[in-house]
Amino acid sequence: MARATAKIRLYVTAELSAGASVALDRDQARYLFSVMRLVVGDDVLLFNGADGEWRARIIAARKKDGVLEAVEQTKVHMSPPDLWLMFAPIKKARTDFIAEKATEMGARRVMPVFTRHTNSDRVNAERLAAHCVEAAEQCGLVAVPDVLAPQTLEKVLADWPGDRRLMFCDETAVGGDAAEALRRAGGDKWGILIGPEGGFSADEITRLRALPFATPVSLGPRILRADTAAVAALTIWQATLGDWA
Amino acid sequence: MARATAKIRLYVTAELSAGASVALDRDQARYLFSVMRLVVGDDVLLFNGADGEWRARIIAARKKDGVLEAVEQTKVHMSPPDLWLMFAPIKKARTDFIAEKATEMGARRVMPVFTRHTNSDRVNAERLAAHCVEAAEQCGLVAVPDVLAPQTLEKVLADWPGDRRLMFCDETAVGGDAAEALRRAGGDKWGILIGPEGGFSADEITRLRALPFATPVSLGPRILRADTAAVAALTIWQATLGDWA
């Protein structure tokens, strides 16, 4: 009988279906066999962001690789709403945190965006993606946001799809009911844009406010750090137009 | 003329009014004079959680102490709504983070609460309070939540004031409109209760649901880490019954 190890969850890229064979890479093999001390016959949970969650059995365990076989589906796949989170990168730890929180809060895509006052000039998208995967593994999620390479705000707005709305968190906006503004705008494809620590530039605010697809939203009377603003904005959106209702 | 150093903000315990003299303690003196290299005649911003924010001038600068004189009020005091945030302590970094976020989100009181499944058995309330002060200093806030010593959930509920409602974040609740539930319950004194990583025990959930002053609220279909749940719950409350409207 399999030991009760099924609390261990692993993100894999292989397709998952009954009897599917899943090869482990070196890091995964080390984690399962050296760190967690699992052996052939033990069970873990696997997800790939598309096929839900599967209980899988270890059928080969070696130092640098291993093979699992998917046994039964334990969660069906649930895609989060079609929501993008765009943010101006900040200090490393807080940027990692935004990726983690976007995953927990059910964003489908995470996009670092360079604005005029963005202090950080480089972002490691791979590192952000790893934080998204880790959050999904630990929180029992079946979906992982895709993380895009950083782009300038200019480019993001120039390429903006015609059928998507933009919730732009405007620190200069005063009051107003954020939920009501979202409900009025409606639609099911959105992006949330969080500004940098120094705020948007005056030019950027003018530009953003003039966009026909943009909804400026106030996040209250206190200045929020960017990571707090990200969670707050995702909450308002999910509770109003997303899958919390 | 004073140098443009007024971006430095310091929390002090002295009363603030025009001409008031403020003595600095050793840590503050070291920060202003050794780290930030300020000198007599420079200005900083002070707040004490009660009298708004004041521009103050350095009139004595020594290695281990110093004196400032309040010159003019730069922000009037704004108390956040009468909202308590109660949470089961988790890992140190995430607990610190909850204190920081409670401050930014405008909670008036922060209360660590031990539940059945709380893993952490000690909390340093002074350390939490220091994180609240730091968040207020950095985010330009004039109010700092008071941080209580940890108590058991049992004791908190036994002492619960008759005129205060409890928003309890119930991971076992499915769907429902959180904002609508809060609006229906109404009132302007509330406490938010966030459970531990392992969730509330079955007994605790039964007890909480039976309380006449409690409103169970769902925070969506994904399991949130406690720090994420804290920000999400504070957002829903502030946007619905608090000072965001």
- Nearest by CB to A223, from B140, B178, B228: name it: B140
Helical segments of chain B, H only: 26-29, 92-104, 125-138, 153-158, 178-185, 202-210, 226-240
Alpha-carbon Rg for chain B in angstroms: 20
Instruction: Please give the pLDDT value at position A183.
Output: 94
Name the domain count of chain B: 2
The residue ranking higher by pLDDT, B1 or A15, is A15
C-alpha–C-alpha distance, residues B204 and B188, integer Å: 25
Handedness of CA B58, B54, B146, B135 (dihedral sign): negative
pLDDT tens for B44-67 read 999 999 999 999 999 999 999 999
In a domain, A213, yes or no: yes
**Exposed e or buried b per residue across A118-140, where buried means at least 16 C-beta atoms within 10 angstroms of its C-beta:** bebeebbbeebbebbbbbbbebe
Question: Are A220 and B177 a contacting pair at CB < 8 A?
Answer: no
Question: Which parts of chain A register pLDDT below 70?
Answer: 1-6, 121, 174-175
B122 and B179 assigned to the same domain = yes
Instruction: Please give the pLDDT value at position B196.
Output: 87
The residue out of B56, B75, B94 marking a domain boundary is B75
In a domain, A245, yes or no: no
In a domain, A1, yes or no: no
Which residues, 6+ apart, have CB-to-CB distance to A34 below 8 Å? A63
In a domain, A234, yes or no: yes
**CATH code for the domain in which residue B34 is found:** 2.40.240.20
The residue out of B28, B50, B75 marking a domain boundary is B75
Using a CB-CB cut-off of 8 Å, the residues of chain B touching A102 are none
Instruction: Decide: residue A174, CB within 10 A, 0-12 exposed, 13-18 middle, 19+ buried.
Output: exposed
A32 and A100 assigned to the same domain = no
In a domain, B57, yes or no: yes
DSSP character for A30? I
A71 and A87 assigned to the same domain = no
To which residue do tokens 């009660």 refer? Answer: B50
Question: Are A222 and B106 a contacting pair at CB < 8 A?
Answer: yes
Tell me which chain B residue has its CA closest to the CA of residue A137: B223
B129 and B23 assigned to the same domain = no
pLDDT tens for B133-156 read 999 999 999 999 999 999 999 999
- Nearest by CB to B104, from A101, A105, A222: name it: A222
B24 and B138 assigned to the same domain = no
**Exposed e or buried b per residue across A68-80, where buried means at least 16 C-beta atoms within 10 angstroms of its C-beta:** bebbeebeeeeeb
In a domain, A64, yes or no: yes
Distance from CA of A62 to the nearest CA of B (A): 33
The residue out of B21, B48, B75 marking a domain boundary is B75
Question: Are B235 and A238 a contacting pair at CB < 8 A?
Answer: no
Which residues of A lie inside 8 Å of B (Cβ-Cβ)? 78, 80, 101, 104-106, 138-141, 175, 177-179, 218-225, 228, 231-232, 234-236, 238-239, 242-245
Beta bridge partners of B181: none
The one-letter amino acid at A23 = A
In a domain, A132, yes or no: yes
Tokens linked to A190:
């959105």
pLDDT tens for B222-237 read 989 999 999 999 999 9
Instruction: Please give the pLDDT value at position A175.
Output: 66
Structural domain span for residue B58: 9-75
pLDDT tens for B176-222 read 789 999 999 999 999 999 998 888 999 999 999 999 999 999 999 99
Instruction: Please give the pLDDT value at position A26.
Output: 94
B39 and B96 assigned to the same domain = no
Tokens linked to A193:
């844009």
- Nearest by CB to A225, from B139, B235, B238: name it: B139
In a domain, A2, yes or no: no
Question: Whole-prediction pTM value?
Answer: 0.93
pLDDT tens for A94-134 read 899 999 999 999 999 999 999 998 877 688 999 999 999 99
**Region of poorest pLDDT, from A168-182, B68-82, B158-172:** A168-182
Question: Are A78 and B243 a contacting pair at CB < 8 A?
Answer: no
B101 and B150 assigned to the same domain = yes
- Nearest by CB to B177, from A232, A234, A245: name it: A245
C-alpha–C-alpha distance, residues B210 and B191, integer Å: 16
Taking 50 as the threshold, does the pLDDT of residue B1 lie above it? Answer: no
pLDDT tens for B100-124 read 999 999 999 999 999 998 877 688 9
